[in-house]
Amino acid sequence: MSNSDIQLDVLATDQSSEVIIVDSSFHVLARGIQRVQLKVPPGIYRAKAKVGDQQSEKLFSVEPNEPNGYKLVELDPLEFSSPIPLQQTSTSRTFHQNAICSATAADGTTVQLGRGAAIVILLRDASLVYSDFNADELAAYGKNFQGFTLSSLDGSEPHSLEAIGKLVPEQGYLIASAAIDPGTYVLSHLTSGTERQCLPLVIPPGWALQVFVSMAPAGDAAIVRQADFDGAAMVLDRPGAGFNPDRPDLRVLEVARQALARGHNVIDSNAMAVLLSGKFENPMMGIFAVHLLLLSKTPDLELAQKVVTNTGNLIGASCPDLLILSWKLGQLRGTSGASDSKVLVESVKGPPMLQLSWHYFMEAYRSLADKDVLDKGISRMARQLVSSSVWMSWLDSANYHSVSADAIGHSASHTPQEEDTFTSSTAIPQVLPELEKSMDSPSFDVGRITRAIHRGANRVKGKVSNWYKARTDAVSLDLPTLETFKVELPNSDETYLETALEKAGAAVHLKLQSVEADAAARIFESLVERVDWKSVLGQLKSVTHHGGEPHPLTPLQRQLLLSLKAAREQFEDEGEVLEDAVRRRLSIPDVPLNAILYDLNLFHLIAKNLDKKHSSSLAKAIVQASHD
Amino acid sequence: MADDYAILVGIGKYADASTFPELQGPVNDVALMQKWLIAPTGGNINPDNITVILSPQAIEPETDPDSVPPVTEDFKKAFKRLVRDKEGRFISRPGRLYLYFSGHGFCEKKSLTPQATLYAANATREFPENIFGSYYALLARDKALFSEIVLIMDCCRDTEVNRPPDIPAVNEAGNSAANDVKLFCVYAAPKGGKAQERQIAERGNKVHGLLTHAILKAFAEAKPDAGASITGAALKRHLLETWTALCGGIPAPPPEIVLPTGTDIQFRSENQGVSQGFEFTEPPAASTVMEVFDSQGQLVVRCELLPPPAASTATWNGSPATGLGFDGKVFSLGLQPSYYKYVLSGGLSRSNLFAVLVGGGNRVQL
């Protein structure tokens, strides 16, 4: 910097714009949000503003004789695309704005499905393709909006959006507005014959959730549209507050959502602090903000905690996303421990809205010694997650649940029911009774008590071993040596037995934790060695390729089949299955291990019941099950 | 270079064409890349050191969808052949490894490090078989199989949660020499972004991936750092700053470029500069002088523009005047990519700023 440098001030109209200054050698001199100020020597520069998927540029010169040694450069506003019909976006449509304004107004048309909260869902097509359609084409186009359902989390009380909403195909939208009980709901739509994609909607008491879904072109036909759940936008507002398409915080919300989709934080802490200082009551922004802060290299944890607290004050701290974020921040700040992870997993009974929240939730779950505390409904979702960039989403189909029984020849006794999966947690509750049996006469003889505990532990080990053997046939497990654990015995008479048992039980439990991972690896290896998965996959692909229905497999099952095929190829090439590689393949970050075990068990049972010489019959069995 | 090697993969035809529509670019891209790699002014590689894995011209109707080539195994085998000796042990080579992939692709949503994966030709919506390009590049680095690795992935980077990249089973023991290995990676789009292929007029109207076209154009046009070489950092700056101009009226997300962590990597620069077009909105009736100044205000070239048939001239920085092709409305000047200012005097009198970014880009309107 020299005395001749000029103070440069580059300002973007949009407060959510990223601003970048580049010199004539194409070096980036500075970047910031909405405004960048720096001293530069006279020369020619380029300023860029980026918002969402759009960018504007301006070439400008800085002269040696700028008045007062100061140069101001203002950048034009940008139009990006959004499922929310915001002003100054490329997808803004007045009739969609009118529809959402009417539905969110205090006197808006609302169906009564409950009370205490509200929901507004707008499915809209910003393409204007419908403006040229004749009556027949409009009728066909309108079918794109069929098959959407709002239901409770367990699938009960389904309401068709067509039935509770208003379809206006000539303007490319369907809008549904309802008073509803606070809680977690599912918005779903049919993606194929029986398969539905599900999106969780968390509606806090006293709030209205506005859900905006783009109906995007699908396939070659101009008339076909498909709901873009992953690109949906959600806004929390007060019921009856109306809709203002000029709200600047909604633009920021959209920029934040797009940043989350890309996994990058483009909103710096200062801008975030300004946005969250109480200027806007936008709880969804709070959740986005914390996730974005956590994507930073050095997240401002104090600010993030403040945002979680403030957002919790607005919508209630029991919102799954907030519970999970609070736990994550506690971990990062070192203020929470293992017990907090258990409390979190036990207290979350419904899915979070954001995919990243789920990711952190699984982080908490994996850290637990007792894996049995995961809600069964959530466990099932984990097996059916679909790819998404912002919102959590899963597939559901009645066929998922019919495959297991049909494919193994109705061998119901081997079907892995929810309550009988390959998890050590099933056997763990037996630890304490076995120990009690071994300690038939409470005594203060430490050696005797220790021997009794070891005897009990080994009985548990035997039971676990038999439990697995009964179900895995040739699969053998290396159960941990239990004789080596030590139990510190207390010397208080009153608490002696109880405390000793608790400590011994916990120690055995800890030892057996690895059994689940070991079981998964052993079953996987056994499957690789016994079945030609290349052939199985080839057959499954062939069915779809030749016009058959897609296979009723969950996303996790498909993923496991691919892993099995790759491992099989390596097995055929190298003559062995590398244990490290197996464990890596089974390390699926967002899926609990018992869900993986469940599906591996299913494959194992199917394979066991089929002719091993013709492993491709496994594929035929699965396909047959899908057509039954 | 004798010790340099390359594996080029171009997948344009997929078994599941409804999920992975046919691409015209990948096969053309590989041919273009191969040509540059062999050229003495380009990669200067021995042609025998290049392995090419391509989609066939057509998929036979009765082909088993699971066997539509290239499949993941095709790449794995080529990679293994290159990095292992006869006894199956890894070998370290002193040269550079180019790994190039063109086709449909994705990346893992949760990955904190830049990565991309190419769908294999037998991938389907439900069974997304793939070649994890980034992993192989990292593997080559971590085991110090080459001293330099250049990874180019001209494919989409849709963020996926449950489409896992196919991680090969490899002994994971590293090599302490890995710290000295330079890894330079270019991805066609940012995480979550879509790559594009287009018909490129200056490449004989063939369809190419935008990234492949841009990289090879940058090697030709970018200003060298010193002599005839350009660093990875300079190449990155050039690609990012010229990207919008290269895309023209149809925007595309910019590439993501990851530089080596230590000493930068060097490429040959052809240093051709950019042939920048200029166009008068109204042809000057009389002799007009156009002076072009660089960002520091230094005169670069002085043009005397005369209505045809009189001969126009350009005088470059003190050199003798040379003839300038001017049809009364349009002419071109060879300039280094940068920002400039023109000043018109004589028949017309005005000035403005302009950017020289890519050859074949928009003409500067005078």
Q: Taking residues B134-138, what's their average pLDDT? A: 94
> Which among A44, A388, A578 has CB closest to B353?
A44
A55 chain-B contacts, CB cut-off 8 A? 244, 251
Q: What was the pLDDT predicted at B359?
A: 87
pLDDT single digits (tens) A111-142: 999 999 999 999 999 998 998 899 999 999 99
What is the arithmetic mean of pLDDT over B159-178? 74
Interface test with A, best of B87, B107, B161 (most A CBs within 10 A): B161
**B1: closest CA of chain A, how far (Å):** 30
**Looking at residue A443, what is its pLDDT?**
54
Whether the Cβ atoms of residue B332 and residue B275 lie closer than 8 Å to each other: yes
Nearest to residue A128, comparing CAs of A173, A162, A167?
A173
What residues in A contact B253, CB-CB < 8 Å? 53
Strand ranges across the sheet with B182-187:
B50-54, B5-10, B96-102, B148-154, B182-187, B256-258
Candidates A79, A541, A543, A578: best to mutate against B (most CBs of B within 10 A) is: A541
Query: What is the band of A317 on the pLDDT scale with cuts at 50, 70, 90?
Result: confident
Q: Are residues B225 and B294 in the same domain?
A: no
Q: Do B129 and A43 touch (CB under 8 A)?
A: no
Question: What does the mean pLDDT of chain A come to?
Answer: 79
In the predicted model, is pLDDT for residue A85 greater than 90? yes
The domain boundary, picked from B268, B286, B307, lies at B268
On whether the CB atoms of residues B266 and B222 are closer than 8 A, the answer is: no
What would the mean pLDDT of A68-84 be, rounded to a whole number?
Answer: 90
For residue B354, the chain A residue with the least C-alpha distance is A59
Task: Verify whether the Cβ–Cβ distance B16 to A541 is below 8 Å.
Answer: yes
Residues in chain A: 628
Q: Chain B residue with minimal CA distance to A297?
A: B112
Q: Are A327 and A340 in contact (CB under 8 A)?
A: yes
CB contacts of A360 in chain B (<8 Å) are none
Are the beta carbons of A393 and A229 closer than 8 angstroms? yes
Same domain membership, residue B256 and residue B334: no
Report pLDDT for B59.
85
Cα A407 to Cα B365: distance, rounded to the nearest angstrom: 70
Give the tens place of pLDDT for each residue, A348-380.
888 999 989 998 998 898 877 666 677 777 877
Closest residue in chain B to residue A555, using alpha carbons only: B162
Which one of A562, A573, A616 makes the best mutation probe of the B interface by having the most chain B beta carbons within 10 Å?
Answer: A562
Instruction: Examine the pLDDT at A500 and tell me if it is beyond 80.
Output: no
Q: Is residue B213 located within the same domain as residue B354?
A: no
Q: Tell me the C-alpha to C-alpha distance, in Å, between residue A301 and each of A289, A298, A387, B207.
A: 12, 9, 28, 48
Rounded-to-integer distance, Cα A275 and Cα A545, Å = 51
Residues B226, B285: one domain?
no
Give the number of other CB atoms < 10 A from CB of residue A581.
20
Poorest-confidence range of A116-125, B47-56, B191-200? B191-200
Q: Cβ contact (<8 Å) for A541 and B66?
A: yes
Model confidence at A565: pLDDT above 80: yes
Sequence-separated (6 or more) residues with CB below 8 Å from residue B66 = A534, A537, A538, A541, A542, B15, B122
Which of B64, B237, B240 is closest, CB to CB, to A538?
B64
Interface test with A, best of B62, B74, B109, B170 (most A CBs within 10 A): B109
Q: Which of B129, B192, B241 sits opposite A262 (nearest CB)?
A: B192
Distance CA A499, CA A497 (A): 6
Q: Confidence class of residue B108 from pLDDT cuts 50, 70 and 90?
A: confident
Q: CB pairs below 8 Å between A and B: how many?
A: 144
Q: What pLDDT is attached to residue A403? A: 41
Asked whether residue B154 falls in the same domain as residue B213, the answer is: yes
Rounded to the nearest angstrom, the minimum Cα separation between A542 and chain B is: 6
Supply the range of the domain harboring residue B283.
Answer: 274-365
Q: What distance in Å separates the CA atoms of residue A93 and residue A87, rounded to the nearest whole number?
A: 8
pLDDT in tens, A283-297: 998 999 899 888 877
DSSP E strands in A204-340: the ranges are 208-217, 225-237
Closest residue in B to A53 (Cα–Cα): B253
Whether residue B261 sits in one domain with residue B184: yes
Chain A residue with minimal CA distance to B159? A389
How far, in Å, are A371, A512, A593, A602 from residue A517 at the CA level? 12, 10, 7, 16
Q: Which of A33, A35, A38 is nearest to A51 (CA)?
A: A33
| Chain A positions in Cβ-Cβ contact with residue B355 (cut-off 8 Å) | 46, 59
- Give the fold, CATH level 3, of A255-396: 1.25.40
The reply to whether B106 and B231 lie within a common domain is yes
Check pLDDT > 50 for residue A274: yes
Residue with more model confidence, A91 or B317: A91
Please say if the pLDDT value at position A149 is more than 70: yes
Report the chain A residue with the minimal C-alpha distance to residue B66.
Answer: A538
What the block records as the tokens of B70 is: 């290239």
| Chain B nearest-CA residue for A386 | B162
Helix (H, G, I), strand (E, B) or coil at B301: strand
Shortest CA distance to A92 belongs to which of A103, A105, A102, A83? A83
Alpha-carbon distance values, B29 to A230, B153, B198, B257, B362 (Å): 32, 11, 11, 19, 24
> What confidence tens digit (pLDDT) does each residue in A154-184 have?
888 889 999 999 999 999 999 999 999 999 9
Nearest chain A CA: its distance from B271 CA (Å): 15
Is A388 in Cβ contact with B192 (below 8 Å)? Answer: no
Angle of helix B72-83 relative to helix B133-142, nearest 10 degrees?
A: 10
* B163 min Cα distance to partner chain A (Å): 7
C-alpha atoms less than 13 angstroms from C-alpha of B99 in its C-beta half-sphere: 31
User: What whole-number distance in Å separates Cα of residue B312 and Cα of residue B325?
Assistant: 7
Taking contacts as CB-CB distances below 8 angstroms, the residues of chain A near B192 are 261-263, 389
Is B167 in Cβ contact with A355 (below 8 Å)? no
CB contact under 8 Å between A26 and B237, yes or no, is yes
Per-residue pLDDT at A74: 93
Residue type, A149: T
Q: Pick the most confident of A141-150, A186-195, A572-581.
A: A141-150
Helix-strand-coil split of chain A, %, nearest 5: 45, 20, 35
The mean-pLDDT minimum among A98-107, A318-327, A408-417 falls in: A408-417
Please, is A412 exposed, middle or buried when counting C-beta atoms within 10 Å of its C-beta (0-12, 13-18, 19+)?
exposed
CA–CA distance, B60 with B13 (Å, rounded to integer): 11
For residues B281 and B217, membership in a common domain is answered with no
Of residues A471 and A604, which shows the higher confidence score? A604
Q: Is the dihedral of CA A349, A352, A357, A358 positive or negative?
A: positive
Interface test with B, best of A387, A525, A536 (most B CBs within 10 A): A387
Count of the separate structural domains present in chain B: 2
Give me the residues paired with residue A58 across strands: A47
Domain end marker among B201, B234, B268: B268
A262, A551, A553 member nearest B190 (Cβ):
A262
Averaged pLDDT score across all residues of chain B: 91
Contact (CB, 8 A) for B14 and B121: yes
pLDDT-based confidence at residue B222 (cuts at 50, 70, 90): very high
Q: In chain A, which residue's Cα lies nearest the Cα of B72?
A: A566
Task: Identify the closest residue of chain B to A21 by CA–CA distance.
Answer: B241
Contact residues, chain A, for B16 at CB < 8 Å = 541, 544-545
Q: Is B252 found in the same domain as B310? A: no
- Domain end (from B220, B240, B268): B268
The model's pLDDT over B264-284, given as tens digits with 9 standing for 90+, comes to: 999 998 888 999 999 998 888
pLDDT for B290 beyond 90: yes
- ipTM (interface pTM): 0.88
Kindly report the CATH number assigned to the domain that includes residue B97. Answer: 3.40.50.1460
Q: How far apart are CA A186 and CA A198, in angstroms?
A: 6
Domain-by-domain residue ranges, chain A?
Answer: 6-75, 94-246, 255-396, 423-628
Chain A residues close to B341, C-beta within 8 Å: 44, 61
Q: Are residues B209 and B348 in the same domain?
A: no
The verdict on B91 and B228 lying in the same domain is yes
Q: What integer pLDDT is reported at residue A402 of this predicted model?
A: 41
Report which of residues A3 and B358 the model is more confident about.
Answer: B358
Question: Are B167 and A585 within 8 A, CB to CB?
Answer: yes
**Pick from B110, B128, B159: which is nearest to A589 by CB?**
B110
Neighbours of B167 (CB within 10 A): 17
DSSP three-state, residue A378: helix
Across residues A566-592, what is the average pLDDT? Answer: 81
Q: Are residues B26 and B73 in the same domain?
A: yes
State the pLDDT at residue A51: 79
Point out the residue among B126, B244, B340 whose CB comes nearest to the CB of A57: B244
Q: Do residues A94 and A185 touch, judged by C-beta distance below 8 A?
A: no
Closest A-chain CA to B164: A559
Q: Do A388 and B15 touch (CB under 8 A)?
A: no
DSSP string of B183-233, one letter each residue: EEEEESSSTTPPP-EEEEGGGTTEEEEHHHHHHHHHHHHSPPSBTTEEEHH
Using CA coordinates, name the residue in chain B closest to A566.
Answer: B166
Per the omega criterion (within 30 degrees of 0), is the bond before A352 cis?
no
Question: Are A24 and B339 a contacting pair at CB < 8 A?
Answer: yes
Looking at residues A19-46, what average pLDDT do you find? 92
Query: CATH number for the A6-75 domain, one of 3.40.50.720, 2.60.210.10, 2.60.40.10, 1.10.10.60?
Result: 2.60.40.10
Q: How far is B197 from chain A (nearest CA, A)?
A: 18
Tally: H helices and E strands in chain B? 5, 23
Torsion of CA A534, A536, A541, A544, to 10 degrees: 180
CATH code: domain of residue B283: 2.60.40
Collect all residues of chain B within an 8 Å Cβ-Cβ radius of residue A562. 127-129, 164, 166
Q: Please give the residue that has the higher pLDDT: either A456 or A255.
A: A255
